[in-house]
Chain A
Amino acid sequence: DTAVSQTPKYLVTQMGNDKSIKCEQNLGHDTMYWYKQDSKKFLKIMFSYNNKELIINETVPNRFSPKSPDKAHLNLHINSLELGDSAVYFCASSPYRGSTEAFFGQGTRLTVV
């Protein structure tokens, strides 16, 4: 019944590794997002896809690559992980492009050691 689900919930990995976070929404929404919440609790948008099309791409290192195989899924792949990538990553969805509220997943806490 979970509307927006992310896996894994926790991810601990060493510097230099490549990892992926998966996100799925069962709400039938067209738009999905990745947000990063750092240690100071600021939520910052990273990417947004609308019907598998990239529509928002903030200033994010190109080590971060989102992939949307279909409109219900938006995965985030991170190459060559760095200490500064440690944060909580949230996936979210909205009914349509430019719609109001966002529905968030429970987050993935990434710790790079």
Chain B
Amino acid sequence: QQPVQSPQAVILREGEDAVINCSSSKALYSVHWYRQKHGEAPVFLMILLKGGEQKGHDKISASFNEKKQQSSLYLTASQLSYSGTYFCANYSGGGADGLTFGKGTHLIIQP
């Protein structure tokens, strides 16, 4: 089942913060986050394995609440380069079957 992302779209001014949420109805082994710019391929940002860890990547970080099957992506002091569509993707484990992607969150950063 496809994870549910919220919000569907966000418009920010440069320097503002954003949070993108992702929830799943089934038990997860890992949650992935990707960013896709218009006309390009998705690019891997980070993976969170079950255990509730929080990861950071420059000013982008994420958390994973295993009990609630929820993950959040945090973008602080947003830059123009952060614009794009953000996807979370779920993996339930047990083999190499593919990730299930959410429908995406469109992030627009304005000067």
Same complex for A and B? Answer: no
Contact surface of A with B, Cβ cutoff 8 Å: none
